[in-house]
Amino acid sequence: MTSPPPARTTRATRRAVAGVVTGLLALTGTAAQLAPASAAPAKPKPPAPSLDLGSKVLVLDPSMATADIKAAVDTISNAQTDDEMGTGRWSILFKPGTYGTATEPLQLKVGYNTEVAGLGASPDDVHVIGKIEVYNRCLDDGGTSNCIALNNFWRTLSNLTIDVNGTGQDGCRQSANFWAVSQAVSMRRVAVKGGNLSLMDYCTAGPQYASGGFIADTSAETVINGSQQQWLTRNSTVGSWSNGVWNQVFAGVEGAPDDSAFPNPPYTTLEKTPVSREKPYLFMDGTRWAVRVPSAQTDTRGRSWANGLTPGKTLPLSAFHVAKPGESVKDINKALAKGQHLLLTPGIYDVDRSIEVKRPGTVVLGMGHATLTAQKGATPLEVADGAGTVIAGVTIDAGTKLSRNLLHVDDHDKGKGGDRSGRGSSAQDPLTLSDVYFRVGGPHIGKVKVALQIDADHVLVDHTWVWRADHGVEDFSGGFLGDDERWAVNTGTNGLIVNGDDVTATGLFVEHFQQHNTIWNGERGRTVLYQNELPYDPPTQADWTQRDGTLGYAGYVVSPKVRTHELWGGGSYVYNRNNASIVTEHGFQVPTTPGVRLHHLLTVNLGAGTTRHVVNDVGSQVDDSNTGTPAYVSEYP
């Protein structure tokens, strides 16, 4: 389906109604698990070791009745569909096997802060005959109009196969498995077979805008991108890809479209991904639980599981400290200090002192968008430079008292002449952040100086959204559009500062910070897809002017001292809804030197405000006269 490039509207939302799912299931042991259908008694199996993952983990078994599974998942989905700023966090896990049938398919929807994942060693170990979908949210007129996916954040789908079956749905819905999402949504290790995968919901009344997203380690036959403004697909296989609005990036993707005609269509294609590490995943090794930790790779193309088990190592779950909301940081740090890894079960964790990840090779894995909320100005996660350390699947919220950082990756040698221990992160085994998300404001007032600061060398950031919220339920006196108050109260100076060398980001989304959104001081940095919105809410030009008189702050800045840096597929958008007269000099600011190379850049006006140039003094102006029409620079310099 062809969709013209839309002019993006504000992410207007109504107040979220927190849903509390009660009486969902009888608990068997600890994790919520539905009883099998009585008509088909299962053969006796050796019991799995007792495992307490908390009440927000639903473990499904293929012997269960399809109707019972759907009823249980629908209860969660119904609670989470509009719970954008609420406290619900869920993991829905499928044991290996087949779910649904050709005549009774299993058709599920995924709401906010929900993880849906298979528990097999391979995506082929779990088959869902049916669909796993996300539709537009309709925000006006009692949920019947203004239907968009712009706010469809915070959800995860991974490690399973979808055999697309729309039996029982209407004709439009039968046409695809719909995954209409935006930022902080990942699809990893998924095979979509027998039908289309649509990244927009063209069946719900318009305008149908979407602003995501991220796919990795996945195979799909036909992908309909539709109205997605930007997207990164990494290390995957696609049969075909249609449409693109502003910025569609492919790295190491078999079947990726040709990008030679950029910007029409707006494709950016890298034959191989320069450095990658797939996200760790929970699985069942027979009857025992384990975590597979993929190894880092360089110059790769295609899926990690195409020829068997994803390369890496398997850790028994006994090697993990399984944490639950309410547990003290002191106890978590004791476990980490003893050499345990950390599994964060779904929920909200109030963190009043830093969780300290000091040992190289430590794995911190969050389930169901487990969320760390800063208290008393703490930095929730302090991560020491270490080879093979992985932080994955964690959301970090700023608190009401100013924090220095939300996540800090420290330099191993603290500037004392280089890491000679062999324990520091390296090109062969980089410290990795996967699906780590940051939020300043939204559910409550938030304050931070720099959300994510990376001081170590050889760090890989594989998909992150660093967001100073442009809307929320903080109950400002002016309502959710009380932007004068938002600017003064929900404060965030910078989203990301990179001081380390040899840092790579694949899927970097940074939005709405009050000065430069991203500052890159380290050498040999690389970014594959950068998406940025400048803040919506500066009250005056004076609030959005640098000390030297430069109008505004660029969305992406490479330090003048840097000699080598490369970016593929970058966009910076302006929407000064609080004061349309505000001007920003340029979207990207970099030193002009042969070693600093930027490929396929754009700026665009979303409805108010002006950006004069795309990069430095190059590129056309975007303003209220050309809303929704990007200014492109194919290559710089």
Helix, strand or coil, per DSSP, at residue 128: strand
- Could you give the C-alpha distances from 397 to 403, 404, 443, in angstroms and in order? 10, 13, 9
Sign of the dihedral through C-alpha 52, 53, 57, 61: negative
Q: For 561, which DSSP code?
A: T
**Torsion from C-alpha of 116, 454, 451, 210, nearest 10 degrees:** -50
126 in Cβ contact with 120 (< 8 Å): yes
The active-site residue out of 133, 533, 566, 635 is 533
581 in Cβ contact with 590 (< 8 Å): no
Q: Using omega within 30 degrees of 0 as the cis cutoff, is the peptide bond preceding 213 cis?
A: yes
Q: What are the structure tokens assigned to 176, written together?
A: 């695809």
183-207 CB burial, b ≥16 within 10 A, e <16? bbbbbbbbbbeebbbbbbbbbbeeb
Q: What are the structure tokens assigned to 523, written together?
A: 């050498």
Q: Is residue 382 among the annotated active site residues?
A: no
- Could you give the C-alpha distances from 304 to 56, 239, 269, 461, 538, in angstroms and in order? 30, 17, 19, 18, 44
* Rounded Cα gap, residues 329 and 326, in angstroms: 9
Among 632, 518, 493, smallest CA distance to 571 is for: 632
Q: Where are the alpha helices (DSSP H) in 240-345?
A: 329-337
Helix, strand or coil, per DSSP, at residue 543: helix
Query: Active-site residue numbers?
Result: 533
